[in-house]
């Protein structure tokens, strides 16, 4: 009969890498979630008043700006937002439509140039019922995708993703945007 196994220190590696996404926990807890739909409570109205580093702003256009998602689905997840506090796509002006589209297109090019993303999900959730976290202020998601980036990763892929610190990602994308 052998002695019971005692685990020492951090234990034995189990060949399963961990994917830590602590930033998602803040989202799950509802941090920064506005309590009403006013401009003063709106994070997408507040971001442009911050400096680029603190606000995670990648690019400022004339009518819209590009910002890193604080709770990214994948590294490099950007959002294109009009400066104006408008909720619905039908409310934005022709000029805003054009700039949103143009910034979305450039965002794809910039992300590709720095990360070689294999694909993208582009989209706007219109209304809380459709999944918009901040329904009161329109935002276009630009989510880069890589093969096997999310699905079954820890189980099948045994792949460790290393989500960069958001500040590093912002600096990388902002620099690439200047050269785009
Ligand atoms: Zn707003």
Q: How confident is the model at residue 44 (pLDDT cuts 50, 70, 90)?
A: very high
Residues contacting residue 81 through CB under 8 Å, at least 6 positions apart? 44, 47, 64, 65, 66, 67, 137, 138, 139, 140
Residue 135 clears pLDDT 70, i.e. is over it:
yes
Q: pLDDT per residue over 77-118, tens digit each? A: 999 999 999 999 999 999 999 999 999 999 999 999 998 898
Predicted pLDDT at 35:
62
* Ligand 1 centroid from CA 136, angstroms: 6
* pLDDT at residue 153 in the model: 43
Q: For residues 40 and 166, which has the higher predicted lDDT (pLDDT)?
A: 166
Q: How long, in residues, is the chain?
A: 180
Total-model pTM: 0.74
Angle at CA of residue 87, ends 65 and 75, nearest 5°: 45
Which one has a higher pLDDT value, 66 or 11? 66
> Quick check: helix, strand or coil at residue 22?
helix
Spatial distance between the Cα atoms of 99 and 92, rounded to a whole number of angstroms: 11
Task: Supply 106's token pair.
Answer: 């450039």
Q: How far is the CA of 139 from the centre of ligand 1 (A)?
A: 10
Provide the pLDDT confidence category of residue 25 given band limits of 50, 70 and 90. very low
CA of 180 to the centre of ligand 1 (A): 28
Predicted local confidence at residue 132, as pLDDT? 86
- Count CB neighbours of 153 within 10 A: 15
Of residues 59, 77, 137, 139, which has the active-site annotation? 139
Centre of ligand 1 to C-alpha 84, Å, is 7
Instruction: Give every CB contact of residue 14 below 8 A, 6+ residues apart in sequence.
Output: none
Active site residue 139: yes
Digit-coded pLDDT (tens) for 155-175 = 444 444 444 588 888 999 999
> How many whole angstroms from 149 Cα to the centroid of ligand 1?
31
- Of all residues in the chain, the percent with pLDDT exceeding 70 is 69
pLDDT at 156: 45
- How remote is the CA of residue 172 from the centroid of ligand 1, in Å? 26
pLDDT for the residue numbered 92: 97
Instruction: Report which of 106, 35, 25, 23 is spatially closest to residue 69, judged by C-alpha positions.
Output: 23
**pLDDT given for residue 24 in this prediction:** 46
The pLDDT of residue 40 is 72
pLDDT of residue 12: 52
């Amino acid at each position: 009969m052998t002695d019971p196994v005692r685990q020492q220190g951090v234990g034995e590696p189990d060949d399963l890498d961990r994917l830590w996404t602590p930033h998602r926990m803040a989202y799950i807890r509802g941090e920064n979630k506005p309590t009403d739909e006013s401009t003063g409570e709106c994070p997408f109205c507040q971001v442009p008043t911050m400096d680029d580093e603190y606000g995670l702003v990648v690019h400022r256009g004339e009518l819209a700006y590009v910002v890193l998602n604080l709770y990214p689905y994948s590294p490099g997840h950007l959002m294109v937002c009009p400066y104006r506090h408008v909720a619905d796509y039908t409310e934005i002006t022709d000029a805003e439509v054009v700039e949103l589209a143009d910034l979305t297109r450039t965002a794809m090019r910039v992300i590709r140039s720095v990360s070689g993303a294999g694909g993208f999900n582009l989209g706007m959730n219109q209304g809380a019922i459709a999944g918009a976290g901040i329904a009161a202020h329109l935002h276009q998601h630009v989510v880069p995708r890589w093969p096997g980036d999310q699905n079954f990763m820890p189980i099948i892929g045994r792949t460790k993703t290393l989500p960069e610190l958001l500040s590093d990602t912002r600096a990388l994308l902002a620099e690439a945007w200047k050269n785009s």
